[in-house]
Structure 1
Amino acid sequence: MTAAQPGSERRPMQRYLEHPRGGPTALRIVLGTQLRKLREESGVSTKAAADAIRGSHAKISRLELGRVGFKERDVADLLTLYGITDPDERADFIDLARQANAPGWWHQYSDILAPWFETHLGLEDAASVIRTYQNQFVPGLFQTEEYARAVTQLGNPRASAVEVERRVRLRITRQGILHREDPPRIWVVLDEAVLRRPIGGPGVMLAQLHRLIEVAQMPHVTLQIAPFSLGGVAAAGGPLTILRFLEPDLPDVVYLEQLTSALYLDKREDVDNYLSVMDRLCAEAERPVATLPFLVKMLDELGTQEG
C-alpha cells in the first residue's frame, strides 16, 4: 500500500479551490468553519487564537463565522498555531482567503447597500435552495421593474431619484440567478394579501401578476398561495427565508429581515424550528397546481376593475 504524501489525507480546502461556488460570502463562511474546526481539534482556546493574531475574542468569532474578510497574515499565523505545516495545505488556505476577499458583483452598489444586506446577497448567490414566505411584498427575485420601484420608494421615502433607480437596478440584477445554468431551487409561499395590495397602482399590479404567472412556470420554481380562507398561518410573525447550500461546511441559514437590519440564524435548533414552520406553511397553502388558476382569476378581476 502506497504511503500517503504529507497533508494529502487532509487538504480540506482543495475541493473548494477546484470547484468554487457561491462567491466570496460563501467562501468566507467555509474558511471560517474550517479554521474553527482546526482550532477545536488542536485544543486552542479562542483567547490564544486571538492573541496569535493580535486581536480580540470578538475578532476570532467574526472570522470563524465568516462575517469579515481575512488578512493573509492572520490566516498564516492561525495555521502555525494549529500545527498546520504542510506547504500545500497552507497554500490552499491562503488561496481561499484571497478568493474570499474578492468583491462580489454587488460591490458596485456598495454606496447604497447596508452591510447586513450584502451578506444576504452573498448567501442568496451561493444557495442551492431558497425557501421563502412573504406576507407583504412579492419577493425581490420575482418583482417587475415598476413594482420594485414602487416598493423602493415606500421603503426609502427620502431617497433621491438617482438612488431609487440604483436600488431598482440592484434588485433586477439579483434576478440573474433565475436564468443561470445552475439556478437555485426556489420555493415561495405568498400570502394572498401580497396579491391584493395594489403596490404602485392597478397597472403595476397587472404587470406583476403576469410576471408571477411567468416565473411560476419555470422548472426550478415552486409557487404557492396562502389564501385568506386559511385564517391564521404558521408564520404569522412576518416574512422568512431559509437558504440551503450544496457545500457540507455551509449550514442552512434562516434570514429574517427587519426595517433597518436582519437576523441570520444558523444554529441547528433555530433552523429546525423555522424549517418546521415553513413545512407547515407549504402544507397549509394551496397546492402548486392551483397557483396558475388562482393568479389568472386575480388577473381577470383586476382587469375588470381597470376596465
Structure 2
Amino acid sequence: MVPRLLLGARLRALREACGILPEHAGYAIRASHSKISRIELGRVRFKERDVADLLTLYGVIDPSERAPLLELARQTNAPSWWQRYGDVVPGWYEAYLGMEEAASSLRAYELQLVPSLLQTEDYARAVIRLRHPFASEEEVERRVQLRAIRQKRVAFEEPFTGDGPKVWAVLDEAILHRPFRDRTMMRAQIQHLIEMAESPGVGLRILPLGAGGYPAAGSFTLLRFDDPDLPEVVYLEQIASANYLDRPDDVELYTRVWDECAAASRPAKTTQLLRRLLREI
C-alpha cells in the first residue's frame, strides 16, 4: 500500500506543479477526474500505461526520472496481507488498511464504540454481529481474526520501538456506560483499556461526561505519515462507504477538533475514570 500512497502523492504534486486540472489528466488516460482523485489518494491499483501517460503529460520525459515512478507503479500491484481476507474486506476499506499500517501515528475520536484497534475479541465479536446481523459464524470469526491481526501489526508491536504512541484515541465516556451485551464483556473491555492506557504504544484519553460541549460531530481518524510526500489524511467511516479528506484546510480543522477533545481529559484522570467504572459495573 505504501507504494500506492507514495506514487499517488507524487503524481498529484507533478500535476499541480504543471497547473493541470484533474479533468484534463483524466482525459489523457481515458478516465474521469474522479479516477485521478482515487489515483492520487492511492485508493486504486495503478496501470503502468496510465502512469507513463500521466508522466508524459506532466513533462517528465527523462528516463532516469520516469524509471523510479514506473517501478513504483509495478510495486502497487503486489499482494497485500489482507487480500486473503478479501471475502470480508470491502473495496472501500482496503485503502484504509494500507494507510493504517503505513501511518506513523493515528489519532482517533470515537463517539459510539471502542476503537477497533483497542477492542477485546469478545467486544469485537459483539460489534461485528451488530453490524452484520446476517453473517455466518464463519464470517464473524474471519472478521474477528482480521481485527486481531490489525491490532498486532499496528498497535501492539513487541518490543515497542517507537519514540511515542502510534495510536492515540479519545473516547467519549458515554461509550462505556452504554449497555452492550453483558457486564462480563464490558468489564473485560474496560480492564483492557486500562492496560492499553499504560502501554507505550497507545495514548488513551476518556472525554468525561462532565466536560460539557465540544466541537466533534462524529467519529473520525487522523493518519499521519513520516514521508514528507504523503499528506495527512482524515478518515470518515460510514455504514457502507468511507470518505478520505486530505485538503490542508480539512486536516487542520479536524486536528484542532481532536486536540480540543484530547485537552478535555488527562492521562491520570483517564485511568482513574476507567478504574471507577470497573468497580461500578
SS at match of 1:68: coil
**Which whole-Å CA distance do the structure 1 matches of 2:32 and 2:94 have between them?**
24
User: What is the CA distance between 1:197 and its match in structure 2?
Assistant: 2.1
Distance across 2 between alignment mates of 1:53 and 1:188: 41
Any residues of structure 2 matched to 1:287-302 within 5 Å, and which?
287-302=266-281
Aligned residues: 276
Query: Shift in Å at residue 117 of structure 1?
Result: 1.6
- CA drift of 1:248 comes to 1.0
Query: 2:165 aligned with 1:189, yes or no?
Result: no
- Which amino acid in 1 is paired with 2:236? L
Distance 1:219 1:290 in 2: 17
2:155 aligned partner: 178
Letter in 1 for 2:166: R
1:88 to partner: Cα distance: 3.0
Q: More deviation in 265-274 or 39-48?
A: 39-48
SS at structure 1 position matched to 2:221: strand
Query: Taking structure 2 as the reference length, what is the TM-score of the superposition?
Result: 0.90
Superposition deviation, residue 239 in structure 1: 1.2
Equivalent residue, structure 2, for 1:269: 249
Relative to structure 1, the CA distance from residue 56 to residue 277 in structure 2 (aligned partners, 3 Å threshold; closer, same or farther) is closer
Report 1:52-71 matches (<5 A): 52-71=28-47
Q: Normalising by structure 1, report the TM-score.
A: 0.83
Of 129, 138, 163, which residue of structure 2 is paired with 1:162? 138
1:244-287 CA-partner distances (Å, limit 9, x unpaired): 11111111111122222222111111111111111111112x21
Do 1:146 and 1:200's aligned partners in 2 also have CA atoms closer than 8 Å? Answer: no
1:128 to 97, 104, 108: 104
Q: Which has the larger radius of gyration?
A: 1
Q: 2:205 aligns to what?
A: 224
Cα distance between partner residues in 2 of 1:47 and 1:209:
50
Structure 2 residue 258 is the aligned partner of structure 1 residue 282:
no
Distance 2:15 2:132 in 1: 44
Picking from 81, 84, 104, the partner of 1:108 is 84
Deviation at 1:89, TM superposition (A): 2.4
Q: 1:2-81 maps to which residues of 2 (within 5 A)?
A: 24=1, 26-42=2-18, 44=20, 46=22, 49-81=25-57
Find the aligned partners of 2:211 and 2:19 in 1 and give their Cα distance: 52
Could you give the per-residue CA deviations for residues 141-161 of structure 1, whole angstroms, max 9, x where no partner exists? 011101100111111111111
**5+ residue gaps, structure 1:** 1-23, 303-307
Cα RMSD for the two superposed structures = 2.0
* d(CA) in 1 for partners of 2:208, 2:21: 52
Identity %: 53
Q: Post-superposition shift, 1:51? A: 4.2
CA distance in 2, matches of 1:44, 1:196: 52
Change (3 A) 1:253 1:39: closer
Query: Gaps spanning 5+ residues in structure 2: where?
Result: none
| 1:7 matched residue in structure 2 | none
| 2:237 is the counterpart of 1:257 | yes
Q: CA deviation at 1:294?
A: 1.7
Post-superposition Cα deviations, 1:44-91, rounded to whole Å, max 9, x if no partner, equal 554554444333433333323322111112222322333333333222
Residues 203 and 44 (structure 1), Cα distance of their counterparts in 2 relative to 1, 3 Å cut? closer
What's the counterpart of residue 94 of structure 1? Answer: 70
Structure 2: distance between partners of 1:198 and 1:46: 48
SS of residue paired to 1:222: strand
CA distance in 2, matches of 1:51, 1:220: 45
1:168-211 CA distance string (max 9 Å, x none): 11111110112335566221111111111232311111111111
Given the superposition, is the C-alpha separation of residues 139 and 251 from structure 1 closer, same or farther in structure 2, using an over 3 Å criterion? same
| 3-state SS of paired residue (2:234) | strand
Whether the aligned pair in 2 keeps the contact of 1:147 and 1:204 (CA below 8 Å) is yes
Tell whether the 8 Å contact from 1:31 to 1:66 is kept in structure 2 after alignment.
Answer: yes
Moved more, 135-144 or 78-87: 78-87
Q: Distance in 1 between matches of 2:278 and 2:25?
A: 59
